[in-house]
Amino acid sequence: MRHSLIQRIQRILILIGFIIILAIGLVGARWAGFGLPGLDGLAPQGVNPAAFNQSVVLISGHAGFDSGAVCEDADGAITLREADVNAEIARLTAARLRRAGADVTVMQEYDARLEGLQADVLLSLHADSCIEASGYKAAVSEERTTTAGDNRLLQCIDRYYVGATGLPAHPNSVTHDMTQYHAFRRIAPTTPAAILELGFLGGDNALLTRSPQLAAKGVTDALLCFFDDDLFLATPDPAG
């Protein structure tokens, strides 16, 4: 009688122990980014210690100001606004970066907080016009004197945004609007900064509107590369 009771308790304790070990394993795997993929097919963003407490400012291009580039149908009705595309990708990017451990603020185009802004990095997200061209491009200030951080950011974008999206570079269309971007002159000179045109609303419509999470992953990976020397020195996986 007594013996069978002890056996029963033993079995229950073994079962509880097994459940605890399973739970620890699942939580640990999710923490490291090995959770079940979401509906978009991407694994959830894992924690990256290099991103801890890093202050990231994203500008949601045109937010609070105008709609940016627009696409129109044959009747002249607007079918797509750049500002909406930028806002969605900024939102998704902020969520991924926060999961990685960064401290993220999404700002409007002419946010008052940009004046003298001190942050670990600033990236402004825009998209290009509605023509049937394809490709991304990034630019940093042509006027600033502290450029090491800016250049590292550009290198990370060139490697990791391409890695996640498969988009080609479209460098020939970098304009003075980009290299003399207003925010570059307003933020503190010590804040590394770049502006990224995520793709064309026309030729890259499918990526920007139907797979914005891919673009957000590309931006996130580029910013994590900026903080993490291992990623900076590594070779990113090719897209797909």
Chain residues in the site for Zn ion (CB under 5 A): 61, 68, 126
* Nearer to Zn ion among residue 61 and residue 202 (C-beta): 61
- The torsion region of residue 146 among left (phi > 0), alpha (psi -120 to 50) and beta comes to beta
What is the rounded distance in angstroms from the CA atom of residue 45 to the CA atom of residue 104? 15
**Other C-beta atoms within 10 Å of 129: how many?**
16
Task: State the nearest-atom distance from the C-beta of 224 to Zn ion, in Å.
Answer: 24
Q: Which residue is nearest to Zn ion (CB)?
A: 126
Tell me how many degrees the CA angle 212-147-188 measures, rounded to the nearest 5: 80
Closest CB 62 distance from Zn ion, rounded Å: 6
Say if residues 54 and 32 touch (Cβ distance below 8 Å). Answer: no
Nearer to Zn ion, 68 or 101 (CB): 68
CB of residue 230 to Zn ion, shortest distance in Å:
33
Structure tokens at 154: 């550009």
CB of 149 to Zn ion, least distance (A): 23
Nearer to Zn ion among residue 62 and residue 99 (C-beta):
62
Cα Dmax for the chain? 87
Nearer to Zn ion, 68 or 199 (CB): 68
